[in-house]
């Protein structure tokens, strides 16, 4: 039977499947280096584009992204996969592993929401202010130069679209309300927590709380690094990931 064509994803390599889950305003470019290197180590990489901007507004929450991921995994009959998530993507991965542990071989979390975050510091994106978007984009990184004009322009364009902005706000609120602290002790799959010591969106104590409550976790720190380690320190991020995968026979 032909598979339904309702998922947007990019696939590379063969071997154990690693599904990459992006953040709220993240995209494939965030994982360029990872996608172009890790597949050479006998891994099948799947970057799954989450329907952040296309999902029905009333369904713009973490719960429905988890359902979307589950439909994808079922349709493509993926077994024992590793879920790698940054920011909101990590939150989706955590929630999925909590609900469907039989489908998950491991988790990699980086700057994950699920406890608390300071995405907009109690304010939400202002559509008309380029300076505001530039400032908020720069805050994601330790090295402000990582927030290139191309990246800022991309995010600015996203928030100019009112329908996208409404969904962004809904997802941001959902991430705050969908606190997983009580669920963490039940998530027993091997988990790598790769965190920037200078992350001000999901500060270091968030990583420490994850590590304390997750039964089978390993915490790795990256110095001079903010909310997106795979972008600021791509080589080190890969090195840690591969070492952890090997240690856990993944």
pLDDT recorded at residue 1 = 37
Ranges of H-type helices in 100-148: 130-139
C-alpha–C-alpha distance, residues 183 and 130, integer Å: 39
pLDDT class of 136 with cuts at 50, 70, 90: confident
Phi-psi region of 80 (alpha: psi -120 to 50; beta: other; left: phi over 0): left
Residues of the chain with pLDDT > 90, as a percent, come to 78
Domains, the chain, ranges and CATH? 9-247 (3.40.50.1820)
Structure-token pair, residue 145: 């130069």
Q: What is the mean pLDDT of residues 50-57?
A: 92
Residue 78 confidence (pLDDT) above 60:
yes
pLDDT tens digits, residue range 141-171? Answer: 999 999 999 999 999 898 888 899 889 889 9
Non-local (6+) Cβ contacts of 192 within 8 A are: 106, 107, 108, 109, 217, 218, 220, 240, 241, 244
Non-local (6+) Cβ contacts of 130 within 8 A are: 152, 156
C-alpha–C-alpha distance, residues 25 and 103, integer Å: 26
pLDDT recorded at residue 117 = 72
Q: How many CB atoms lie within 10 A of CB 205?
A: 11
Instruction: Say what the pTM is.
Output: 0.93
Q: What is the mean pLDDT of residues 125-151?
A: 86
Non-local (6+) Cβ contacts of 3 within 8 A are: 75, 76
Higher-confidence residue of 176 and 245: namely: 245
Contact 18, 82 (CB under 8 A): yes
Across the chain, mean pLDDT equals: 92
pLDDT recorded at residue 129 = 83
Instruction: Decide: residue 235, CB within 10 A, 0-12 exposed, 13-18 middle, 19+ buried.
Output: exposed
Non-local (6+) Cβ contacts of 116 within 8 A are: 176, 179, 202, 206
Q: What CA dihedral angle connects 155, 157, 163 and 166, to 10 degrees?
A: 30
Residue 122 confidence (pLDDT) above 50:
no
Coil/strand/helix, residue 147: coil
Q: What is the mean pLDDT of residues 72-77?
A: 96
């Amino acid at each position: 039977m032909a598979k339904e064509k309702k998922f947007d994803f990019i696939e590379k390599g063969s071997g154990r499947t690693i599904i990459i889950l992006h953040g709220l305003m993240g995209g494939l470019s965030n994982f360029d280096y990872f996608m172009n290197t890790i597949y050479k180590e006998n891994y099948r990489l799947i970057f799954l584009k989450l329907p952040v901007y296309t999902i029905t507004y009333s369904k713009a929450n973490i719960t429905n992204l988890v359902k979307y991921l589950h439909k994808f995994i079922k349709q493509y009959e993926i077994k024992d996969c590793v879920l790698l998530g940054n920011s909101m993507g990590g939150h989706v991965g955590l929630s999925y592993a909590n609900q469907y542990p039989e489908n998950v071989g491991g988790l990699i979390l980086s700057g994950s929401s699920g406890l608390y975050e300071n995405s907009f510091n109690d304010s939400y994106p202002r559509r008309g202010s380029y300076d505001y978007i530039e400032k908020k984009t720069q805050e994601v990184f330790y090295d402000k130069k990582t927030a290139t004009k191309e990246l800022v322009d991309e995010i600015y364009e996203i928030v100019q679209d009112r329908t996208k902005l409404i969904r962004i706000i809904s997802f941001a609120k959902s991430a705050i309300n969908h606190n997983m602290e009580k669920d963490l002790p039940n998530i027993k799959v091997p988990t790598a927590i790769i965190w920037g010591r200078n992350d001000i969106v999901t500060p270091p104590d968030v990583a420490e709380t994850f590590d304390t409550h997750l039964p089978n976790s390993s915490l790795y720190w990256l110095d001079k690094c903010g909310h997106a380690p795979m972008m600021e320190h791509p080589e080190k991020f890969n090195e840690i990931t591969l070492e952890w995968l090997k240690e856990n026979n993944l």
